[in-house]
Structure 1
Amino acid sequence: GGRRNYNDQTLMPVTCKMLKTCTPDPDGGGGMKLADGRDVHLVRLVAAVRTIQETSTNIVFEVEDGTGLMQVKQWFDDNDPPAVTEMRMEACKEHIYIKIVGQMKVYDNTNMLVAQSVRKLADPNNLTYHLLEVAYTGEKHKRGTSIVGHNMGNHHQPTAAAGMPSGMGGSGVGQPMASGGGAGNSVAQLRDMILNYIKREGEMVEVGASKIACVEEMARLGNYTPQQVHDLIEELAQEGNIYSTVNEDHYKFAM
């Protein structure tokens, strides 16, 4: 049981839409559940500040991340350490991106995120990476439930999936994959899969293949982490095999 508690309490990357559609746990206990059935404890949200309302005891941010708007409340008092106050002041600007860590609460039948920490986003690329993580963890959950649901005797996949996030610290590309091949073999395999995906999907849509959809597909096909896919897409773009279209999240195959 200890392992499950640890997983339940880990920081979950989410979007505004996921938080708006989560509901109180039907089993009681005051918890919340996402639409896909996952328990919501501590969450991480990256979004743009649209409006700010400040009182003597709290700030209410309205934030947006492309999936919807969300209300975020942060309580504070005069005894907060100077560093905490300074961090809050930096984040209290409209039209900047912030990273919020907090817990979901329901006030007057409306979902609200109560922030434990609000920081200005240092690097805009962190937004893309956050969305990739959202896609990856959602896909991993779907894989896990379908494996359990079909009562398969193959324990290899869930174990590989459970071990994957450790590779997200940056050394992801060199990791051996769930396919059992050596790291070099797997990277070459993933590279081909990404190229084929961007070639196929990029021809069907004017703006090109979506990086986030590509991450979801690679997680589904072979337990590859967002970092691995992200790094290889960067590499393929630098080599001129693919090129970005409307933004850094959409790519086409260079014929």
Structure 2
Amino acid sequence: MSGFDGGNPYGANYSTGGGFMAGGEDSPSTKKSGSNSLRPVTIRQILNAQQPAAEGDFTIDGVQLGQLTFVGVVRNVSSFPTNVSYSVEDGTGSIDVRQWLDGNADETGKTDGITQNRYIRVLGTIKAFQNKVSISAGHIRPITDFDEVMFHKLEAINTHLQLLNGAGASTGAPRAATGGAEQKFSHIEDPLQRKVMESIASLADAHEGSGVPIVTVARRIAGYKEQDVRTAVENLVTEGYLFTAEDDEHVLPS
């Protein structure tokens, strides 16, 4: 695929190391530590990562994180003598990314092509300071082919599903909804909003990267017009139950 370095979407010097994708040496059913693997993720997954012990490794889907990679759009750039800080968002959330320079000036070309409103790929590790999560980047490069963005979203979803359900989950089929969904949203008084939340929650895992299409939700809820469902979604976004993902037509639970 054009835009990838030598056919490797992570760059010439990086690989997943037999990580989580089907065909790797380690299967998700047996591998519980990803410290030696490169994990494709969304920013929302990073923000929701767990740190079971202070100063310990972060985990996503119960798997320890080492190096991770994600793609997103640079929304702000702040330059300092020893580092550059980027605000990056991918439709699921935004996060600060810091890249350290080798000297007072960037003589190695680390920041070449990394500009505002440009898609980039980031490789790095999670850092936490005063309860705020950020990324310490070991490598950043601009993306020249938008297909790489879509590839990454699919890879992040596939990895997430494999780790949750085992290697057979690579089909992308959503998990069966677990019991208690009705009780989880029973505090929402409006019956349509409650149905919308239940439907989106049941589809969220299969649409981790891009978000659940509103039109899909409308088709699943019988007895209501699509506009009524859209109004319910807008109200749920306003109230903080949902947030827009890839665009205004796709949403995910907060």
**What TM-score range do you get, normalising by the shorter chain?**
0.5 to 0.7
Summarize the Cα distance change of 1:22–1:5 in structure 2 as closer, same or farther, 3 Å threshold: closer
State whether structure 2 residue 133 is matched by structure 1 residue 111: yes
From 69, 79, 89, give the equivalent of 2:112.
89
State whether structure 2 residue 125 is matched by structure 1 residue 99: no
Alignment correspondent of 1:73: 98
Compute the displacement of 1:5 (Å): 8.0
Alignment correspondent of 1:20: 47
1:87 and 1:43 map into 2 onto residues whose CA distance is 18
1:51 and 1:106 map into 2 onto residues whose CA distance is 20
Alignment gaps of 5+ in structure 1: 145-157, 165-200, 207-246, 251-255
Correspondence 1:143-182 to 2 at 5 A: 143-144=165-166, 158=167
Summarize the Cα distance change of 1:161–1:10 in structure 2 as closer, same or farther, 3 Å threshold: farther
Compute the displacement of 1:161 (Å): 7.3
Q: Give the total of aligned pairs.
A: 155
SS of alignment partner, residue 24 of structure 1: coil
SS of alignment partner, residue 129 of structure 1: helix
SS of alignment partner, residue 22 of structure 1: coil
Summarize the Cα distance change of 1:5–1:142 in structure 2 as closer, same or farther, 3 Å threshold: closer
State whether structure 2 residue 38 is matched by structure 1 residue 11: yes
- Contact 1:87 1:120 (C-alpha < 8 Å) held by counterparts: no
Instruction: Tell me the C-alpha RMSD between the 2 structures.
Output: 3.5
State whether structure 2 residue 78 is matched by structure 1 residue 44: no
Alignment gaps of 5+ in structure 2: 1-24, 172-215, 221-225, 227-246
Compute the displacement of 1:204 (Å): 3.0
Alignment correspondent of 1:121: 143
Compute the displacement of 1:203 (Å): 9.4
1:142 and 1:37 map into 2 onto residues whose CA distance is 9
SS of alignment partner, residue 41 of structure 1: strand
State whether structure 2 residue 157 is matched by structure 1 residue 132: no
TM-score, length basis structure 1: 0.52
Summarize the Cα distance change of 1:72–1:204 in structure 2 as closer, same or farther, 3 Å threshold: same
Alignment correspondent of 1:141: 163
2:74 and 2:152 map into 1 onto residues whose CA distance is 16
Compute the displacement of 1:48 (Å): 0.0
- Could you list the structure 1 runs, at least 4 aligned residues long, displaced by more than 6 angstroms after superposition: none
Compute the displacement of 1:107 (Å): 1.5
Summarize the Cα distance change of 1:79–1:143 in structure 2 as closer, same or farther, 3 Å threshold: same
- Contact 1:103 1:113 (C-alpha < 8 Å) held by counterparts: yes
SS of alignment partner, residue 81 of structure 2: coil
- Contact 2:36 2:67 (C-alpha < 8 Å) held by counterparts: yes
SS of alignment partner, residue 97 of structure 2: strand
Compute the displacement of 1:39 (Å): 1.6
SS of alignment partner, residue 144 of structure 2: coil
Correspondence 1:167-246 to 2 at 5 A: 204=219
- Contact 1:105 1:113 (C-alpha < 8 Å) held by counterparts: yes
Compute the displacement of 1:80 (Å): 8.7
2:32 and 2:164 map into 1 onto residues whose CA distance is 19
- Contact 2:101 2:110 (C-alpha < 8 Å) held by counterparts: no
From 54, 57, 60, give the equivalent of 1:31.
57
CA displacement, residues 227-253 of structure 1 (integer Å, 9 cap, x when unaligned): xxxxxxxxxxxxxxxxxxxx9xx9xxx
1:58 and 1:40 map into 2 onto residues whose CA distance is 24
Structure with bigger helix share is 1
1:77 and 1:120 map into 2 onto residues whose CA distance is 19
CA displacement, residues 127-174 of structure 1 (integer Å, 9 cap, x when unaligned): 111000011000101112xxxxxxxxxxxxx4x779x9xxxxxxxxxx
SS of alignment partner, residue 86 of structure 1: coil
Compute the displacement of 1:15 (Å): 1.0
1:79 and 1:7 map into 2 onto residues whose CA distance is 34
